[in-house]
Amino acid sequence: MFGKKKETDKTRAWKKLAHHYKAFRKTEMRDLFKKDPQRAEKYNIVLDGLMLDYSKNRISDRTMRYLLALAQERKLKEKIDAMFSGEKINITEHRSVLHVALRNRDNTPIYVDGENVMPKINEVLGKMRDFSEAVRLGKFKGQTGKKLTNIVNIGIGGSDLGPKMAVEALRKYWGKGLNCYFISNIDGTACCEVLNKIDPETTLFIVSSKTFTTIETLTNAKTCRKWLTDALGEHAVAKHFVAVSTNEKEVEKFGINPENMFEFWDFVGGRYSMWSAIGLSIAIMVGMDNFDKLLDGAHAMDEHFKTASFDKNIPVVLALLGIWYNDFFGWKSHAVIPYDQYLQYVPAYLQQLSMESNGKFVSNDNKYVKYNTAQVLFGGAGTDVQHSFFQMIHQGTTPVPCDFIIPAISHNEVGDHHEILIANVLAQGEALMRGKTVAEAAEELKKAGKSKEEISFLKKFKSFPGNRPSNTLIFKKIDPYSLGMLIAMYEHKVFVEGVIWNIDSFDQMGVELGKQMALSILPELQGNALGIRHDSSTNNLIKTIKKLRK
């Protein structure tokens, strides 16, 4: 499909798994649970208050043995060590991948090109502490002397999704009187809707962009800058704008004093950057002590990932299960469903993390891969999504493995809401695993007094195939530490997948072509010339839109 050169999938473990799949694919989880009363205890990992139950998966000990052998064969241990020690594992961009250094709470030296990166990381963390405290205490004031209470992050992709997700997840930890807004989309509506709600005198804009060349972010930042200076004059920029970037030159060009810039580095990928100064909005909203706890939680997961044996390693097990379904069963999607309103943006965050990292078709050996790489990841907060896409999860033709995420205690324990919520998520996992046979459905209909004809007609519609896998992740309560663990867990899951698929999880060349073409279409939309260099469909679309906008 992608050319002549193909990455081989004929490794020993892969072949064994393919063979095992044929023999095992019809095995019912119902039966596996019946046969082994210890199954839940066996397929279970606990780390620091976080529990992964992966017993509701289509696996046996043999499956796990072969999957773990695949990880060994792909030299996962060496690859993990290479990442943590700063080796340039992003081979297409020749960069180290060191988001783990941002939360290296032991402060052990990590070297890139012979330089220990920890001092500069600690320096920026110190600068973030000083600034976030000054804003929270009202010491860093706006142009007219008022406290800055509206924090607006302008960024997109990795410079938006992580902070947005974490700020929402930690809403209960927000400083009193503070509000946070995120402007990402180039759609003017995104910008206008935020600006309509806030007062320039009390607003702090954080322009977050690794490259500081992203058209959406720079266009939004310019519009916000104009809105501010129209109200408060040019001098106000120094008091109301800060930047987070790796590109000091462009920050200065934009008109933000480099003193008001928080630095990060090429060894931090955009979608892995919420632990850097890109998390400044988080630090201001929840305080730097809580930001530190977020880093502590992520560090605990890093240590686990680095040191736990693979059979007891949460990110490794999650990744191997995903590969089992994606590459052997051929199920190409995966749903993540947090049962907590505060975690509502986790699926959107994970979409970029997973699909931008692993949606690749060329291997590290410069060959076209011939197995499936990133799954389609989607999700949303439960129980809402039970009333939208769960019909397909239960009765659709292709199973969609799910991750259910449940905090045992809610920040808002009102009446029996939380118990109803938990009952629902546990019921979903059980229902997906057990299903309901046609005979069981018929029996139920009989008990409900239905006629023979009705039973015979309805029984298939009312049956559930079951045998559909899910992982359940439980922790006590959402707090900065548990959130840090959870997000780092998914980062490392994505890393393991990349290693097994032998792809570079740390570039994103697939986003470039669309950007390039947009640049060529823009002048045609703005000028009088009709598009002539495109296909007839694109030409016609340009023509129609121009007519409508006249």
Nearest-angstrom CA–CA distance, 440 and 462: 9
Min dist. Cβ of residue 124 to ligand F6P (A): 16
Phi/psi at 334 (5° precision): -145, 135
Neighbours of 122 (CB within 10 A): 12
Closest CA to 339 of 415, 265, 429: 429
Phi/psi at 272 (5° precision): -115, 20
Nearest-angstrom CA–CA distance, 94 and 491: 20
Nearest-angstrom CA–CA distance, 154 and 184: 6
Element holding 283 (H helix, E strand): helix 280-286
Out of 139, 226, 312, 515, pick the active-site residue.
Answer: 515
Min dist. Cβ of residue 465 to ligand F6P (A): 38
Min dist. Cβ of residue 469 to ligand F6P (A): 30
Min dist. Cβ of residue 236 to ligand F6P (A): 24
Closest CA to 373 of 413, 409, 341, 332: 332
> Looking at beta carbons only, is 142 or 157 nearer to ligand F6P?
157
Total residues belonging to the chain: 550
Helices 314-323, 61-73: crossing angle, 10 deg rounding? 100
Distance of CA 464 to the CA centre of its chain: 31
Min dist. Cβ of residue 505 to ligand F6P (A): 12
Nearest-angstrom CA–CA distance, 106 and 296: 10
Out of 22, 94, 176, 387, pick the active-site residue.
Answer: 387
> Looking at beta carbons only, is 217 or 505 nearer to ligand F6P?
217
Write the DSSP symbol of residue 200: G
Write the DSSP symbol of residue 141: B
Site residues, ligand F6P (CB under 6 A): 156-159, 209-211, 214, 217, 270-271, 356, 508, 511
Out of 263, 356, 491, 524, pick the active-site residue.
Answer: 356
356 is catalytic: yes
> Looking at beta carbons only, is 63 or 273 nearer to ligand F6P?
273
> Looking at beta carbons only, is 220 or 375 nearer to ligand F6P?
220
Element holding 261 (H helix, E strand): strand 261-263
> Looking at beta carbons only, is 124 or 432 nearer to ligand F6P?
124
Query: By the 8 A CB rule, do 246 and 210 touch?
Result: yes
306 is catalytic: no
SS3 193: helix
Min dist. Cβ of residue 174 to ligand F6P (A): 24
Closest CA to 481 of 283, 258, 295: 295
Nearest-angstrom CA–CA distance, 422 and 406: 7
Min dist. Cβ of residue 345 to ligand F6P (A): 15
Query: By the 8 A CB rule, do 428 and 382 touch?
Result: yes
Min dist. Cβ of residue 163 to ligand F6P (A): 11
Nearest-angstrom CA–CA distance, 103 and 110: 12
Neighbours of 357 (CB within 10 A): 24
CA atoms within 13 A on the CB side of 250: 18
Min dist. Cβ of residue 544 to ligand F6P (A): 28
Min dist. Cβ of residue 217 to ligand F6P (A): 5
Residue identified by tokens 């006629």 is 451
Closest CA to 284 of 170, 443, 398: 170
Contacting residues for 543 by C-beta, under 8 A, at least 6 apart: 530, 531
Residue 133, judged by CB atoms within 10 A of its CB (0-12, 13-18, 19+), counts as middle
Phi/psi at 399 (5° precision): -60, 150
> Looking at beta carbons only, is 67 or 156 nearer to ligand F6P?
156
* Residues catalogued as catalytic: 356, 387, 515
